[in-house]
Amino acid sequence: MTTGLKPFIGITGGIGSGKSTICRIFSCLGIPVFEADKAAREICDQDTAVKEAIIAEFGPKAYLPDGSYNRAWIKGLLQKYPGDVAHLNAIIHPAVRQKASEWFAATPDAPFCLYESALITPQKKPEPISQIITVDAPLSERIQNIQKRSNMSYMETMQIIDLQPKPKNYLWGADFVIQNGKNDQVFPQVMQILKAFTCLLLLLVGPSASAQIKAMTFNVRLDTESDGLNQWKYRSKHCGELIRYHQADIIGLQEAFLHQITDLEKELPGFGWFGKGRDDGKAEGEFSALMYRKSKFKLIKESTFWLSDSCDKVGFGWDAACRRVVTWGQFQEIKTGKKFFVFNTHFDHLGKVARRESAKLVLRKIAEIAGKAPVILTGDFNATPDDEPIQILVDPKNPARVIDTEKISQNGHYGPYSSFNGFTKEQEGKHIDYLFVKNGPVVLQHTTHSETWENKYPTDHFPVSAVIRIP
């Protein structure tokens, strides 16, 4: 389901918050509104495949003798077994998204379209939705609104509210919040959002249209008991928080076992990832995985190669102590349609020959795979700027060279230059984590993130990021 350049904006909020009223205002101002909850009701009543799936999952009582959806019975069942909500959503939501796609294709020209649903949140939204508007109202007023229109008891009302996401889930990470309490004026808030998205569309379709990408390289340190209080189980949450706080869009991970990536997934809703375990090409060993924000990028293709003479299969390269890989993907910016490649790697920590030959191989493979398309290269290269592998990568005499983003950042560099801390402090002269570009990306910012909490580091490397614009 794609939306092209015209944004598809989610509007959400708890039951009784006034979403429908806000949507009517937008509709009067010429903004088309897809009512996902209404569509879901129609699908449950009319879609044969959905009806069959619901009956198979919940039994024949899910439908009345006249063939209509037994909402009262289903509601009672979900109140008794809240875990069944996910099963029901898994049946209904794909059909709703398909209907939304068909609806969107038929909508007239508008600065944006709205997707109304109480079940989406800024952390959990359908792929085509680029941003979220949350409608918020005090709980006491929401209860009054529900009881006024539905003639339900207080207990019934609270049971329905409890089935929905918590208020903090609606608010945290929302791009816009409309306060809809008794004393709030909503029309000026609506007009402000309308103006913001109208300006956004003008930028998107303009000749210089380009979205900014925040790319990050992040060695998260393998999970090992020998790290004691620095073990992954004590750090995983903080690694996710760091990525989330700095709003990274694409992250090249190093030293991540599969379960570590899974842990980060939980901390980073809305992100996808890909890669292969270096030891078997499947799930064993460390990954040099790539994570990406699914609302911002479409993954076109991806693959992995090994840093060795036989790079298309699992193996050791040269004098390397470990098997090493490069994970790469071709992406498309959803807003602009622009395509680019990202490569992520981790050079060997012991093999001097391996690091030198790895640098040469990476340049050859980037030229072979990406051609003249824009490229971002992230990684832990286990080499300082003056070391041979880095000099090979940035050699100005080599037309296949890449460029260190720190050197061309329009706003310079922020943070320490060294990127290794060993869980103790910045290690002088240990600048070994990099982001490189090739074929035209513009670099706006370059940062080494050296935050700690309670004097503890999220990992033994500082993540490094760059704000990049694809040409």
Q: What is the pLDDT of residue 335?
A: 86
The one-character DSSP state at 417 is S
Q: What is the pLDDT of residue 252?
A: 98
Q: What is the pLDDT of residue 210?
A: 54
> Taking 70 as the threshold, does the pLDDT of residue 364 lie above it?
yes
Exposure string (b/e) for 245-278, b if CB count within 10 Å is 16 or more?
eeebbbbbbbbbbbebbebbeebbebbebbbbbb
Average pLDDT score over residue span 304-308: 98
Q: What is the pLDDT of residue 109?
A: 62
Q: How far from 262 is each of 92, 126, 214, 239, 303, CA to CA, in Å?
A: 26, 20, 22, 13, 19
Q: What is the pLDDT of residue 208?
A: 42
Per-residue pLDDT tens digits for 217-232: 999 999 999 999 999 9
On average, the pLDDT of the chain sits at 89
Confidence of residue 400 (pLDDT cuts 50, 70, 90): very high
Q: What is the pLDDT of residue 145?
A: 86
Average pLDDT score over residue span 91-116: 80
Q: What is the pLDDT of residue 90?
A: 86
Per-residue pLDDT tens digits for 406-440: 999 988 899 999 999 999 988 887 999 999 999 99
End-to-end CA distance of the chain: 25
Phi first, then psi: what are they for 4, rounded to 5°? Answer: 65, -145
Nearest to 433, CA basis, from 452, 455, 415, 412: 415
Q: What is the pLDDT of residue 200?
A: 55
Q: What is the pLDDT of residue 3?
A: 42
Q: Which of 181-190, 204-213, 343-352 has the lowest mean pLDDT?
A: 204-213
Which string of DSSP letters, residue by residue, matches 228-296?
A: GGGSHHHHHHHHHHHHHHTT-SEEEEESB-HHHHHHHHHHSTTEEEE---TTTSSSSS-B--EEEETTT
> Can you say how many angstroms the Cα of residue 116 is from the centroid of all Cα atoms in its chain?
21
**Which CATH number does 212-469 carry?**
3.60.10.10
Q: What is the pLDDT of residue 377?
A: 98
Q: What is the pLDDT of residue 106?
A: 73
> Can you say how many angstroms the Cα of residue 271 is from the centroid of all Cα atoms in its chain?
3
Nearest to 1, CA basis, from 157, 182, 126: 126
Average pLDDT score over residue span 342-361: 98
User: Domain 8-205 is in which class?
Assistant: alpha beta
Q: Domain locations in the chain?
A: 8-205, 212-469
Confidence of residue 121 (pLDDT cuts 50, 70, 90): confident
Q: What is the pLDDT of residue 4?
A: 45
Average pLDDT score over residue span 328-352: 96
Per-residue pLDDT tens digits for 256-303: 999 999 999 999 999 999 999 999 999 999 999 999 999 999 999 999
Model-wide pTM > 0.75: no
Q: What is the pLDDT of residue 436?
A: 98
Burial of 443 (0-12, 13-18, 19+ CB in 10 A): buried
Q: Which of 137-151, 347-361, 398-412 has the lowest mean pLDDT?
A: 137-151
Average pLDDT score over residue span 348-376: 97
Residue type, 321: A
Per-residue pLDDT tens digits for 182-204: 888 888 898 888 877 766 555 44
Per-residue pLDDT tens digits for 11-61: 999 888 989 899 999 888 888 899 988 898 899 999 999 999 999 989 999
